[in-house]
C-alpha cells in the first residue's frame, strides 16, 4: 500500500496518508490508457466539416460541347470534379465520430494514470484549500510553497468557487472535480494536486 506525505498550503508536512493499492498502486496499463484517450478525443470532434458534390454545386446543367467531332475529351458537365469550381469527389460530409468504450476500461485507465502519478512523484496531497476569498495570489503562493512547477491539475472533491476562481487566471493551471476527471487532463497536466477529501472520494469511486 503506497504512502504519501500530506502538506498544508504553507508547504509544511502535517501528516501522511496510506493510499489504496487498487487505485493508486496498480501497474499502469498503457494500451488501455491509449485506447480511452483516442475515444475521448474522437468524442470531442464536432464532425461538422462538409463539401459539395457535383449534384450540389450551382450550374453545369448543360453539356459543354457535343459528344463527338470536336477533338476534345468528352464532357457531360462543367461541374464535374475535374473542372475548376466543380464538385468535390469523395469529400467529407457531416458525421458523428462518437463511439463508446467499456466502463471497466475507462476506470482502469484512470487508475493507471493515478498510479503513474504516484510512481513518478507527480502527486501532491494537501490537507485542504481553505480560501476565504477569491484571490489569485493566494493560489500562486500555495503552489510555490508546495514546490509545484509546470502544468498542474488541481482536483477538488466538490465545487469550491473561491479555489476555482483563484486558479483560473494562472497559466498552465486547471481545476477539475472528481466527477469530471478524464484521461486527457491527467496526461496533459504533469502535476496532480489533490486534497485529502479528494483522495477519499477517488478511493470511493474507483476502488
**pLDDT tens digits along 57-81:** 999 999 999 999 999 999 999 999 9
pLDDT band at 151 (very low <50, low <70, confident <90, very high): very high
Q: Report helix angle 103-119 to 30-44, nearest 10.
A: 120
Is residue 117 within 8 A of residue 123, CB to CB? The reply is: yes
Q: What is the model's pLDDT at position 195?
A: 93
State residue 96 phi and psi, 5-degree precision. -100, 135
In the chain, domain spans: 3-46+98-206, 51-91
> Averaged over 144-168, what is the pLDDT?
92
Is residue 14 within 8 A of residue 128, CB to CB? The reply is: no
pLDDT score of 207 more than 90:
no
Q: What is the model's pLDDT at position 3?
A: 86
Indicate the CATH number for domain 3-46+98-206. Answer: 3.40.1370.10
Query: For residues 56 and 148, what is the distance between their CA atoms, to the nearest angstrom?
Result: 56
Query: For residues 130 and 138, what is the distance between their CA atoms, to the nearest angstrom?
Result: 10
pTM above 0.95, yes or no: no
pLDDT band at 157 (very low <50, low <70, confident <90, very high): very high
Q: Which contiguous run of DSSP H or E holds residue 152? A: strand 152-156
Gyration radius (Cα) of the chain, Å: 27
In this structure, what C-alpha cell is assigned to residue 22?
487498487
Amino acid at each position: 500500500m503506497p504512502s504519501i506525505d500530506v502538506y498544508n498550503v504553507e508547504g509544511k508536512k502535517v501528516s501522511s496518508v496510506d493510499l489504496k493499492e487498487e487505485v493508486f498502486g496498480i501497474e499502469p496499463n498503457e494500451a488501455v490508457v491509449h485506447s480511452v484517450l483516442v475515444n475521448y478525443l474522437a468524442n470531442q470532434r464536432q464532425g461538422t466539416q462538409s463539401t459539395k458534390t457535383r449534384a450540389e454545386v450551382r450550374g453545369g446543367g448543360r453539356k459543354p460541347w457535343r459528344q463527338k467531332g470536336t477533338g476534345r475529351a468528352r464532357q457531360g458537365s462543367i461541374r464535374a470534379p475535374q473542372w475548376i469550381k466543380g464538385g468535390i469527389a469523395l469529400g467529407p460530409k457531416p458525421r458523428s465520430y462518437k463511439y463508446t468504450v467499456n466502463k471497466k476500461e475507462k476506470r482502469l485507465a484512470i487508475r493507471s494514470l493515478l498510479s503513474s502519478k504516484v510512481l513518478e512523484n507527480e502527486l501532491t496531497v494537501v490537507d485542504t484549500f481553505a480560501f476565504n476569498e477569491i484571490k489569485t495570489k493566494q493560489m500562486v503562493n500555495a503552489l510555490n510553497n508546495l514546490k509545484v512547477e509546470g502544468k498542474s491539475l488541481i482536483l477538488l472533491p466538490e465545487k469550491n468557487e473561491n479555489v476555482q476562481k483563484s486558479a483560473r487566471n494562472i497559466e498552465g493551471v486547471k481545476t477539475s472535480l472528481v466527477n469530471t476527471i478524464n484521461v486527457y487532463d491527467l496526461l496533459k497536466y504533469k502535476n496532480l494536486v489533490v486534497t485529502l477529501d479528494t483522495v477519499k472520494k477517488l478511493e470511493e469511486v474507483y476502488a
